[in-house]
Structure 1
Amino acid sequence: MPVRSPFLVLATATALVLAGCSSAGDGAAEAGPPQSGGTLKFALAVDPTCLDPQQFGLNASLNVGRQIVDSLTDQDPKTGEIKPWLAESWTVDDAATSFTFTLRDGATFSDGTPVDAAAVKTNFDAIVKLGAKAQLAGTYLAGYRSATVVDPKTVRVDFAAPSAQFLQATSTMSLGLLSASTAAKTAEQRCQGDLVGSGPFVLKKYTPNQGVTLARRTGYAWPSSLAEHKGEAYLDGIEYKIVPESGVRTGTLQSGQIDGATDIPPQDEARFDGNGFQLLVRGNPGIPFNLAANTSKPILADEQVRLAVQKALNRTEIVQTALSDKYRSATSALAKSTPGWNDQSAALKFDQDGAKKLLDADGWAPGPGGIRQKAGRKLSVDVIYNLAFPPSQTILELAQQQLKAVGIELRLRQLTTGELTAAQATGDFDFLWFNVTRADPDILRTIFSTKYANRSQLKPGPLDTALDQQVATLDDAKRTQSVAEAQKLIVTDHAYQIPIVELSQVIGLSEKVRGLRFEASSRLSFYDTWLGK
């Protein structure tokens, strides 16, 4: 059965809600035709830490990795449809357990070896071998049984259970292809930049906490079918500079020392909206920033408390105070730009009186300092977080104030990335503040299924059933129904997750930067980018 997208109906239904996803310089006819040459200087807010896209899920890492690796397929950011790239066609069996890809001719890795069926098998086998180090790629290959080389141009990938999400996963850089020589390297060597990909740029140098240098690959001629041109990239190279301080990052952009920068703070957006600059903005699909409840903790095991927290938060105030109009309030367990999003905003409406009534009925009485008590226990919970998204501190402080107004104490625990990972592993938290980006609703299964991460410590039940059903069918209508049911169970019925705000990528650029675009997961693609006058 030929398949282009197992979820096209849901993708097209949400296409119109994507924010600002046009490429840099769109509509600028005065710029003339694209020009080759020049090195783009681009600032990242954090160090990539690990450059291997098959291992690391940090935006900074993937914004580099996308330029080095190509993928079997690509996903149209406007419609969600899966399009050809290294694979020119594919078929999926009716059970969604077997995927057969026919590869295009001529593609090679930068060491000259071919991108063939054997290379695909080597990559997928190596990702599975990486285990937990393959942060995103490992979840995309959950249930992977084997890859079979049918012939040099044809590879079949088999799963032990239905995996309707896999076709979309092949469009991500996390399943992007690296050479067999790279697969043989240690995980640490790969993280530090010992990578050979098939993409339009090659890695020249990585100095941790300082920068990354890429150079145009000579002879590249197999871009995605979504690309605006064919042949080599326009840019001679890209120099990424690591600039954590937002004021320094925006200052160097405004002074012309760099051509672009990620993570423009809300308070600085106006400086780059015109006046020789441009803003490139797109909302992230996937799971919005939220308070994920650890239901193994006594207080948050109480569903009425979780529902009260959900009602007590004024998301509109949070967005208007801490962010800008480039961001939106969360309306479900999925961001609105995610295929399969289902509106649960009625359950997320600010209702302070409703929150108080729930807590009153549940036996939580007002206590000293305005914090409620029950059977001698204070209604006090903590939230663990880090500042990978800098406005998190302000957002959580506002949430803290709003919850105190109904008698709930929210204690903020800022942790390092390592500390945060350790706390999640041991369950040492009440709420976890996080988001995850993916342009497919199966992200809910990898977070909330009791068979996978299960950060909320849920028990098997109807949510598992809905999450299993959505990944087991290629029927759009059936998958739509199961995904909607999962969102209702997570948010409206049980408040396992308390969504607050959708993340947006806000990129500041010089007006001379043209053709920079977001791919479907809101990471950057520099293949069509060029520098005007």
Structure 2
Amino acid sequence: MRKTAVRRRARIGAVGVAAAALLLTSCAESERNDEEASGGTFVFAGSDEPKLLDPAFASDGETFRVARQIFEGLVGTEPGTADPAPLLATEWENSEDGLEYTFTLRDDVKFHDGTDFDAEAVCFNFDRWYNFPESVQSDDFAYYYAKLFRGFAKGPKKGKGIYESCEATDTHEAKITLNAPFAGFTAALSLPALSMQSPTALEKYQDDAAANVNTTEYSTAHPTGTGPFVFDSWDRGSRVTLKRNDDYWGEKAKVDTVQVVAISDPAARATAVRNGDVDGADLIGPADLKPLEDEGMQVIPRAPFTVLYLGLNQKTKPLDDIRVRQAIAHAIDKDAVAAASLPEGSEIATQFMPQSVNGWSDSVTEYEYDPEKARDLLKEAGAEGATIEFNYPTDVSRPYMPSPEDTFNVLRSQLQEVGLKIKPVADVWTPDYLDKITGTANHGIHLLGWTGDYNDSDNFVGVFFGTEQAEWGFKNQELFDKIAEARGIPSVEEQTPLYEEINEMTMELLPGVPLAHPSPSLAFGPDVEGFQQSPVNDEVFNTVSVG
């Protein structure tokens, strides 16, 4: 058996990646013990309210932001990184073939309803996901379980997944058996969608076969986990209120109450921090960063674990011609795009994953900024002066795309400079834009991106290019098969050269132009201490205090 030697997950101390700067002014704060609560309320602004309170049916960051305060998984992340670390499991080991994982569980944890967290609860949760009814086996609900495990006990995907069984081999030891290796399995367990939830509360309040699982009693009023905060109330359209869990097994929260509020406009979020209406906010627009710092606010960048790209739909002519896609790539000055529309600290992209992810290759084909070469390629392809539809979203700010209209305007100018005619098509983010780009062939070039969920190559290139998808409009079975092969290799070390090949193949095919790995920024008032940034947004507020 391969044994993972792991340390207890600490939420204090060094956090990697410029750790001292990311602890918000407070070395002393990180040394406080669990009994030194500062009290008060911490108010944090996100871009939207959660969709529901049951993370198993969620895939959006704002739902996960609240879920991370209430729920915990077997695996967490090392503070300040995307790397897996122990949480409800203290250690784990896996078989050489990558099919059996044995987790040793903490023996001092209770759910918020007072019931025990143990191996039976672990298996209850795994079996719940596997037995989801067909009505929720879609991207709208069981998105992450479906993507990661790829099959259910019943329905059209019956028997096609990688989950086989869960066995409580002891009170605090659970063995998970898979049908196929998945090297990213333990890292994936850090996702809030795979958090441990109280079997008692689920049986009492939840109906997975309900007409709308978003509106069940559990999903709106009784989320029950093991985390440092317990659910108090949800004022729809305004805020979620959480209270400190005084029986928490780990570092108890320093504040009495957390309120997560929804402010959709980035400038309004910055203003709310400036005016003291909120203590902190996420996804601060690039234009507001320096003014906030100049006014004494704290601005905290996350380490880049994102990718912003210009997608090129090959179902639309002339994008089916590799020479046209290459011309577009050579027409783009990525440095100018980053300078005009992305936060300081964003990294220029050469491929569809950041350099910190296993499988990143230094041998991919790079398309340097060369407008003359772009013109020559368009001429060679007979596409001089071609009209290209350019889709971009409005009314949205994403970690990888804080200002879509600004990014669009820079790219439009660069593409027009090489003779292309740009037809702008703007749509509201949800549901119109996402549905059009990811669900139909009715689009041309388009802005989109991804924030990594956990540190695994498949979470980037597998999501994008593992199967034929409407967004990209191509079918390349060799690439699909190679990604499937890499995903099934049981060790990260053995995967590495294959994922490097995949990145090299992808950049030869050029389904899109990776632009940058933006560094999303948060802002806080001057009296906030103890916040620990995470590149994958695994930010739990129990370490935060407000002076």
Give the TM-score taking structure 1 as reference length: 0.86
Percent identity for Structure 1 against Structure 2: 23
Correspondences of 1:115-514 after superposition (within 5 Å): 115-128=117-130, 129=132, 130-132=136-138, 133-142=141-150, 143-151=161-169, 152-180=171-199, 181-182=201-202, 184-186=206-208, 187-188=213-214, 189=216, 190-221=218-249, 223=250, 230=251, 232-273=252-293, 275-286=295-306, 288-343=307-362, 347-365=366-384, 371-372=385-386, 379-386=387-394, 387-389=396-398, 390-410=402-422, 411-423=424-436, 424-438=438-452, 439-451=455-467, 455-491=471-507, 493-514=508-529
Q: Is the 8 A contact 2:352 2:461 kept in 1?
A: no
TM superposition shift of 1:395: 0.2
Look up the SS of the partner of 1:486 in the other structure.
helix
Q: For residue 24 of structure 1, what is the aligned residue in structure 2?
A: 23
Q: For residue 48 of structure 1, what is the aligned residue in structure 2?
A: 50
Q: 1:413 and 1:511, CA in 2 relative to 1: closer, same or farther beyond 3 A?
A: same
TM superposition shift of 1:29: 4.2
Q: 1:359 and 1:452, CA in 2 relative to 1: closer, same or farther beyond 3 A?
A: closer
TM superposition shift of 1:31: 9.6
Q: Deviations over 1:203-254 (max 9, x none)?
A: 1111232111111112111x4xxxxxx3x22221111121223333222211
Q: Is the 8 A contact 2:65 2:537 kept in 1?
A: no
RMSD after superposition: 2.8
Mapped to 1, the partners of 2:470 and 2:176 lie a distance apart of 27
Q: Is the 8 A contact 2:48 2:262 kept in 1?
A: yes
TM superposition shift of 1:81: 4.1
Q: What count of residue pairs does the alignment treat as equivalent? A: 502
2:101 pairs with one of 99, 102, 106 = 99
Amino acid at match of 1:185: D
Give the TM-score taking structure 2 as reference length: 0.84
TM superposition shift of 1:508: 0.5
The runs of 5 or more residues in structure 2 that have no matched partner are: 7-14, 151-160
Q: 1:137 and 1:285, CA in 2 relative to 1: closer, same or farther beyond 3 A?
A: farther
Q: Is the 8 A contact 1:41 1:239 kept in 2?
A: yes
Q: Is the 8 A contact 1:212 1:239 kept in 2?
A: yes
Q: 1:28 and 1:211, CA in 2 relative to 1: closer, same or farther beyond 3 A?
A: same
Q: Deviations over 1:305-357 (max 9, x none)?
A: 21221111111111111233232322321023434333467614212122112
TM superposition shift of 1:454: 6.5
Q: Is the 8 A contact 2:321 2:381 kept in 1?
A: no
Q: Is the 8 A contact 1:125 1:146 kept in 2?
A: no
Look up the SS of the partner of 1:419 in the other structure.
helix
Q: 1:208 and 1:268, CA in 2 relative to 1: closer, same or farther beyond 3 A?
A: same
Q: Is the 8 A contact 1:19 1:282 kept in 2?
A: no
Q: For residue 368 of structure 1, what is the aligned residue in structure 2?
A: none
Q: Is the 8 A contact 1:24 1:513 kept in 2?
A: no
Mapped to 2, the partners of 1:311 and 1:193 lie a distance apart of 52
TM superposition shift of 1:506: 0.7
Q: For residue 540 of structure 2, what is the aligned residue in structure 1?
A: 525
